[in-house]
Amino acid sequence: MKRTLLCIILFALVSAEEKRYNPTPDRDFDVHHIRIEIEVDVRGESVEGNVTHTISPLQTNLSRIILDSEHTTVSSVMLNGKKALTYEAQEKKLEIDLGREYGFKDTLDIKIEYFSEPKLGLFFILPDSVYPKKHLQAWTQGEDMDNHYWVPLHDYPNDRATFETILTVDKNLTAVSNGELLSAKESGDKKTFHWRENYPMVAYLISFAVGEYKKVEDSYDKLPVNYWVYPEHNREDALRSFGKTPEMLELFNDITGFLYPYEKYDQVLLEDFMYGGMENITLSHQTDRTMHTESARPDHSSDGLVAHELAHQWYGDLLTTRNWANAWLNEGLTSFMTLVWTAHDKGFDGGEYARLQSLKSVIRANNYYSRPVVLYHYEKSWEVFDANIYAKGAIVMFMLKAHLGDEAFWRGLKHYTQKHAYENVETQDLKKAFEEATGQNLYWFFDQWIYTKGLPKLEVKTKYSRRNSTIAMTVTQTQNIEETSLFRLPVTVLIDDGSITRHTIFIEESKQTFTFPSSGKPNMVLFDEGNLIPKYLTHKKSMHELVYQLKHAPHVNDRIWAADELGKLSARKAVIEALFESLNSDSFFGVRAASANAIGNLKPKKADAQLMEAVGGQDNRVKRAIVRALKKYTGDDVRDFLTDILDNGEKDYLVNDAFNSLAKVDTAAFHAKINWALNTDSHNDMLRRSAIRAISKKETNSSLSKLKDLAEYGGTTWAARSSAVWALSGKVKDHPELVEWFVDHLEDPNRSVRSASIRTIGHHGKKKHIELLENLYDPINADGIEGAIDRLNKPTKSRNKKRGH
């Protein structure tokens, strides 16, 4: 599951040490089973019914229990179906008096009758006269701790229970939930679906989706595999997005050593879902933005998302983090599994290219917020959901695999999975399992990569000795070891002296020199072949060395690095020729695209014709890189080339890039196409969004008026409207009167618009707006409201100056 950057920004500015410490909370009771029986009123945006918790005390004198519950009206609480209990509904808790003390051997059934109009945890999607094509839906999103907004329960991942959901909905709707479907019965204009999950899971994995769905059936072995799509979709549409699921099941069964154990595996589409997907047990929720036509391929694929949420059925569901500090055990291992799937599906080069993208994410995350992977200090639990657990977790697992070797690594992962199935885990469980399976002491590895923040900064220098026929490589760690650590790094060094040899070195000091034999001056020396380690590397090479590496390095990531480095040099003839040779002949699309990007960076004279000629026969992702490079050129030929793509292109992403490049090549031709772009559908409305951004860059009254029109409810499509709103937000500094527009939209039906309004008021509003925000009830944007109020309350430098401070 992915989190938005905006949420993380609000809290990352405070150092982790200053934030609240969050250990795993104590439990007073053990939940065995949860039975939820509710009627879901989609148009009324409410639920009503009851929940029964079967529990046992975890102490000898339990006389009360406390459940998580917010904005829920409780009408009664019964014990064992006989005794009415007294209770107190507090702001965030439901406290129930059991009437007397109970002990370890007791089992209690506590039934709660309630009504809820949730603003978190359960969301309602309603079409209206302005947006009539929206799908009528209700769906849950429990992670991290939001299910208690629609059902009172213990809402923390340190307990497991089986559960069942009995959902009554309008007869024309379908209710999909976890586990096996026991019954579906009609009664008048209603229909009741009874689902039961027989395997104990944490509370945030309880889920359901209600809507008008079409069920597309698939299978793996004897396991039912279903795709719940919209009525307008056909089987081909469903399989285009989800059709590789059975093959993924087979792979994950094999590499985990634990066969998928549950009743079925469903995937269901959600409109306006805030994330890419959510790994609810046996029922992954998937954003409907992942659906696509052939016009979006190969640039967009659902495979990564599908693999990620499926892998969570093992890491996240079968084994679940015991606290949010160790959430990387859910997300990092799953991101690793996703990359393993990519290598299986796309081959070694494709897998390594995908891993490179994750490695780059690790470096960006460290630049923005350097922190340990395991993080107990935070204000809000969702703060931990960033690339430090997703991408870095995956990269750490790849490094562990390289260190241990394939056979030992997979043995360790299988041992971890089998040993801790149906358990809540922490990082020491993973470490110990690998140590038990391999006999290796991995304290140093987990200490530096998981428990310590930061990345190594390495300076590598090589010198060839003709007299000794040796290469001396000096590696210096230049990071601040007081803030991070002195890293221990197993590194593969490749030397090409006419033949290729590989050497494994182990760096563990601040400065070390290693010596390798070489029959002559080497053509190429690669430090950390394939770019396995997340690091900041300084390794200066000559133009001739980079050209050779671009052409001859065995690993795609090393050829990409060479192309990137060549793109930083001057546009010398040998550089340009090498880049065009790579663009036209390298076997992997990612290298060809990197070469096109480098050419664009260098902007060699009269290379536009060569770039346009190179488009023929290329992968669409390479064509896009070429089109982006062409924005550095002008002239009728380039303009006509780009407009031809706009008029005749069949690939959405290529058309969008051509549109954006045209803005730089020929302003008049570009402006003539803006209205066309505003009225052209594309995958996830990318073309319409690009047109809105173009309008926002114009500094005219008419463009501002157009932007306001687009930002209004119904001004453009639902998906593209948020782009107009955020673009309008960018105008407030020069047009402060626009703050009132955002005040008027604080309760807009679109949560992205509400979020933009809150943030804009927080940055540009006045003291009079504080009360507006304080009285605004919008739980999904609660943290944004809090941050906006803090900013409004904080005097600016100009205010201080006026006050004489």
**Residue 327 DSSP one-character state:** T
Alpha-carbon span 94 to 101, nearest angstrom = 18
Alpha-carbon span 702 to 285, nearest angstrom = 42
- Report which secondary-structure segment, H or E, holds 251: helix 245-256
SS3 769: helix
Q: What is the CA radius of gyration of the chain?
A: 29
Alpha-carbon span 554 to 558, nearest angstrom = 8
Q: Which residues of 791-800 are buried (b: 16+ CB within 10 A; e: fewer)?
A: bbeeeeeeee
SS3 216: strand
In this prediction, residue 782 carries a pLDDT of 83
Nearest CA-CA partner of 273 in 288, 283, 258: 288
SS (H, E, C) 515-553: EEECCCCCCEEEECCCCCCCCEEECCCCHHHHHHHHHHC
**Residue 21 DSSP one-character state:** B
Nearest CA-CA partner of 392 in 406, 411, 409, 375: 375
Sheet with 62-68: list strands edge to edge: 62-68, 93-102, 86-89
Contact 670, 639 (CB under 8 A): no
Q: Is 124 exposed, middle or buried (0-12, 13-18, 19+ CB in 10 A)?
A: buried
Helix axes 245-256, 328-368, angle to 10 degrees: 100
Residue 626 amino acid letter: I
C-alpha 456: how far from its chain's center?
25
CA dihedral 413, 414, 418, 424 (to 10 degrees): 20
Please confirm whether the linkage preceding 517 is cis (ω < 30° from 0): no
Alpha-carbon span 723 to 700, nearest angstrom = 19
Which ranges constitute the DSSP H helices of 672-715?
Answer: 674-678, 686-697, 701-711
Residues in CB range of 797: below 8 A, 6 or more apart: none
User: Which token pair is 579?
Assistant: 């880049």
Residue 211 amino acid letter: G
Please name the residue that has the structure tokens 């949860």: 34
β-pairing verdict for 93-102 and 86-89? antiparallel
Distances (CA, A) of 461 to 476, 481, 514, 527, 542: 9, 21, 11, 10, 12
In this prediction, residue 785 carries a pLDDT of 84
- Report which secondary-structure segment, H or E, holds 55: strand 46-57
Phi, psi of 251 (to 5 degrees): -65, -50
Which ranges constitute the DSSP H helices of 383-525?
Answer: 391-404, 406-419, 427-438, 443-449
Alpha-carbon span 220 to 246, nearest angstrom = 5
Beta bridge partners of 94: 67, 89
Alpha-carbon span 42 to 523, nearest angstrom = 68
User: Which token pair is 780?
Assistant: 């999904």
pLDDT tens for 343-374 read 999 999 999 999 999 999 999 999 999 999 99
Distances (CA, A) of 760 to 260, 568, 710: 47, 38, 18
- Report which secondary-structure segment, H or E, holds 737: none
SS3 181: strand
Sheet with 223-229: list strands edge to edge: 214-220, 223-229, 265-270, 283-287, 277-278
Q: Is 129 exposed, middle or buried (0-12, 13-18, 19+ CB in 10 A)?
A: exposed
Sheet with 208-211: list strands edge to edge: 122-125, 137-140, 208-211, 174-177
Alpha-carbon span 135 to 124, nearest angstrom = 10
What separation, in Å, do the N-terminal and C-terminal C-alpha atoms of the chain show? 47
In this prediction, residue 534 carries a pLDDT of 98
Residues in CB range of 85: below 8 A, 6 or more apart: 77, 78, 79, 96, 97, 98, 99, 110
In this prediction, residue 768 carries a pLDDT of 87
In this prediction, residue 15 carries a pLDDT of 54
The upper half-sphere exposure of residue 364, i.e. CA atoms within 13 Å in the direction of its Cβ, equals 11
What are the residue ranges in the chain where pLDDT is below 50? 2-14, 796-805
Please name the residue that has the structure tokens 């998981």: 450
pLDDT tens for 237-276 read 999 999 999 999 999 999 999 999 999 999 999 999 999 9
Which ranges constitute the DSSP H helices of 151-244?
Answer: 235-242
SS3 content of the chain, % helix, strand, coil (to 5): 40, 25, 35
Alpha-carbon span 582 to 563, nearest angstrom = 9
Alpha-carbon span 355 to 367, nearest angstrom = 19
Please name the residue that has the structure tokens 């340990």: 372
Angle at 679 between CA 674 and CA 684, to 5 degrees: 100
